[in-house]
Amino acid sequence: MTCHRHHLYNLCLLYASVILFVIAARQHINFLYSTYDKMTSPKRNNTNMENKEINSERTNEADINVEYNDPTRIHIERNKSLDDLKLEKLKQIEKEIKNKYGFVIKASDFEKYGKARKEDCLPGTMKRPPDIIIIGVQKCGTAVLRSMLAMHPTIAAQRKEAHFFNRSYREGVPYYLEQLPCSKPNQLTLEKTPAYFDLTDPALLYAFNPNMKLILSVCDPVNRTISAFVHEKRMGHIPLERSFTEEILTKDGAINASVNITKRSNYLAPITKYHRYFPPSQLYIHDYDLTKQKPWEGLNKIENYLGIDNIFTQSSFWFNNNAQVFCLDPPALNLTKEKLKTQNMFEDGCMNYFYKEHMPKPKVSEKILKMLRRHYGIYSTAFSMIVRKSFNWSPTVTDWLHPDHHPERW
């Protein structure tokens, strides 16, 4: 009975969080509409003042590298289009960024660096602003995903992570160019930095290119937490002698939601930030857990999302029994040794780290696993509802009412 009440309580919290999210989103849109109505409503005896305000605004915006559009011309109709909403939102974001950094970096700024864009590039290629960015999630197969997509003839991808929008924005376009690959005119440029999903505010990304295609690779948050623990230990961010339990539990024995490895496994807060800027049509959710079983199906969905040819089939892969993973079949995709090497792949089409000795994963008790599943459960359910996609690790509303139906999710 107590357990049932507990689930009902969590279900109420879930519904409340989703409802609040929807209300906040609607209020944001209503605020935009009310702002535009004020801008276009008739004003009496204010013609001279209005002209002065417009000229002043024109002067201030001249410093921002965007094409200026007269508000009276943009909003000639009372019924605003989505393009009008997007334009006004973009202009406001650019003002805020300029106030903070003193400048705004846009994809169009690359045109100013003709010579730098061709440095270290073969004839017929140059460095172009990214069309696609894999924004996360760390430890959810982003490196494998990038490497496999890089084998597509229509995609050019750099092996290293750029970390431009989270660390090096003030370095400007010259720095960003150094992090990007050379590409042909008919290719899409792909960038991957999983840390972008944890940006405090994705406004810099949106201002750079509001039409950017984003990919978010997600996985079981419990498994991600364990994998992140091993990674952080290997990187020296967590002492070697510290146990997994010590890292994730508070002194009171509850899950510590503020440590890095647990905080990054909660996908709810970051996705709401991104939805403030990018519509679902520009943010593809890649289920890494499912595509580990049939990677060609997951890659085909991404190809469709990007509007490029489907080149990956089941025959494009072979199963590595030792590593228990699917690897690319180079002959099937006409991949050269040099091409594979650019993405840390061996001649057999496997990622090089598949063969490396890894730090053993910690042994986690069933009690701790259950605590983690319960901790992430409500966030995962809300995340699933927001992105309108189900996951094997995400409890459904039915699961909250009937927790015995799928005990593996708890």
Kindly tell me if the per-residue pLDDT of 74 is higher than 80. Answer: no
The string of pLDDT tens digits covering residues 267-322 is 999 999 999 999 999 999 999 998 899 999 999 999 999 999 999 999 999 999 98
396 band by pLDDT with thresholds 50, 70 and 90:
confident
Tell me, what's the pLDDT at 60? 40
Average pLDDT over residues 92-121: 95
Peptide bond into 137 cis (omega under 30): yes
DSSP string across 390-405: --TTSPPHHHHH-TTS
pTM (2 d.p.): 0.80
Average pLDDT over residues 311-337: 94
Q: State the alpha helices, DSSP H only, in 244-345.
A: 244-248, 260-263, 268-275, 288-291, 295-306, 330-333, 337-341
Strand 317-320 with 213-218, pairing:
unpaired
DSSP string across 156-222: EE-SS---HHHH-GGGHHHHHHHHS-EE-TTPEEEEE-GGGGG-S-THHHHHH-TT-EEEEEE--HH
Output 51 or 371, whichever has higher pLDDT. 371
Tell me, what's the pLDDT at 221? 97
**Length of the chain, in residues:** 410
Question: In Å, how far are 60, 61, 87, 291, 332 from 84, measured between CA atoms?
Answer: 20, 17, 5, 38, 47
Backbone dihedral angles phi then psi of residue 218, each to the nearest 5 degrees: -120, 160
Q: What DSSP element (H or E) covers 155?
A: strand 155-157
Name all domains of the chain by residue range, CATH numbers in brackets: 51-99 (no CATH), 112-219+279-364 (3.40.50.300)
The string of pLDDT tens digits covering residues 360-379 is 889 999 999 999 999 999 99
Residues 337 and 278: their CA atoms lie apart, in Å, by 38
Average pLDDT over residues 105-119: 95
Tell me, what's the pLDDT at 162? 97
Kindly tell me if the per-residue pLDDT of 4 is higher than 60. Answer: no
